[in-house]
């Protein structure tokens, strides 16, 4: 897999860009907002939580209250950003919650019947990301004329190491596998229009996990600022599309498309994986699939 080096020079590419971050009031989102502000971007934090008191105020920082599982709430946020700045360059679909259920509990209602599963984590961590991505793709393309002809805006989604390994936390792992599916399923469809990438951090101090307990097991926990640098890189680097950057302890690897990465491993296992994608593209070209 390809090691990734992140220099401050490449991060200068976000200067004066308009960056929308869902879940930006804490954790990785907050760290990304701070880094983007440091490098001169206009940042909009969209969150249900209020801005934290330790986040330094800036004329380049705006805040919008957003429920990411509400289409109307997210749509109105994008409309507001467009009214403020006249454009949107980069969107970080980062809002997320921790595990809620494994879908296998035996909770019963007052009539002794099995209750429906709690879908909160799926709703926020996967469906909310799809809402963000749909809006981001539309608004980034809508304002593409103000950029240089070779420059594309970008969307970054928050995946996880739970996206591609055994990780026994039910709904959280299912949702993060779905986020990986967003990269695999949509990369080709928006190629040349909007760049789509993901970050997949290992244990990170976000408030979602009990950092002290994990460290007590002898396992390190990285700071959210480590992940923030990989997000800003994906905003800035025009060559990156369909990448997934894994971060751990200050080190970064591209694990999806690089030699020895996840796609290469799949091609080594499935004898006809390449032809299956070719068939899908031909089916679409011949209008044998549902319209997109």
Q: Point out the residues that are catalytic.
A: 172, 176
* Whether 97 contacts 49, CB under 8 Å: no
Pairing mode, strands 42-47 and 18-22: parallel
Q: Which residues pair with 92 in a beta bridge?
A: 21, 156
Pairing mode, strands 2-3 and 251-254: antiparallel
CB-based contacts of 43-50 (< 8 A; 24+ apart in sequence):
43/19, 44/18, 44/19, 44/20, 44/77, 44/81, 44/84, 45/21, 46/20, 46/21, 46/22, 46/74, 46/77, 46/95, 47/22, 47/23, 47/95, 49/25, 50/25
Q: How far apart are alpha carbons 189 and 186 in whole angstroms?
A: 5
Q: Which residues pair with 200 in a beta bridge?
A: 246
Query: Quick one: how far is CA 287 from the chain centroid?
Result: 30
201: DSSP letter:
E
Provide φ and ψ at 131, rounded to 5°: -60, -50
In three-state secondary structure terms, 46 is strand
Q: How many CA atoms lie within 13 A of 157 on its CB side?
A: 35
In three-state secondary structure terms, 205 is coil
Provide φ and ψ at 47, rounded to 5°: -160, 155
């Amino acid at each position: 897999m390809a090691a990734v080096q992140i220099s401050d020079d490449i991060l200068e590419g976000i200067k004066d860009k308009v960056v929308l971050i869902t879940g930006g009031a804490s954790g990785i989102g907050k760290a990304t907002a701070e880094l983007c502000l440091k490098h001169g971007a206009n940042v909009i934090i969209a969150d249900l939580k209020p801005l934290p008191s330790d986040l330094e105020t800036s004329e380049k920082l705006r805040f919008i209250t957003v429920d990411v599982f509400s289409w109307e709430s997210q749509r109105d946020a994008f409309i507001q950003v467009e009214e403020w700045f006249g454009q949107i360059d980069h969107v970080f679909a980062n809002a997320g919650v921790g595990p809620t259920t494994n879908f296998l509990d035996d909770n019963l209602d007052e009539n002794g019947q099995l209750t429906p599963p709690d879908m909160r984590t799926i709703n926020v961590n996967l469906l909310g990301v799809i809402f963000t991505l749909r809006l981001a793709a539309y608004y980034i393309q809508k304002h593409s004329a103000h950029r240089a002809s070779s420059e594309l805006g970008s969307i970054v989604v928050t995946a996880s190491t739970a996206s591609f390994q055994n990780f026994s936390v039910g709904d959280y792992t299912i949702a993060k596998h779905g986020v990986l599916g967003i990269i695999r399923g949509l990369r080709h469809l928006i190629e040349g229009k909007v760049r789509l990438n993901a970050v997949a951090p290992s244990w990170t101090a976000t408030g979602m996990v009990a950092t002290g307990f994990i460290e007590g097991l002898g396992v390190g926990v990285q700071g959210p600022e480590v992940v923030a640098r990989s997000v800003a890189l994906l905003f800035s680097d025009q060559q990156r599309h369909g990448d997934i950057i894994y971060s751990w302890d200050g080190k970064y690897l591209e694990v999806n498309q690089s030699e020895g990465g996840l796609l290469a491993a799949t091609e080594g296992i499935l004898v006809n994986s390449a032809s299956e994608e070719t068939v899908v593209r031909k089916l679409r070209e011949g209008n044998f699939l549902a319209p997109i």
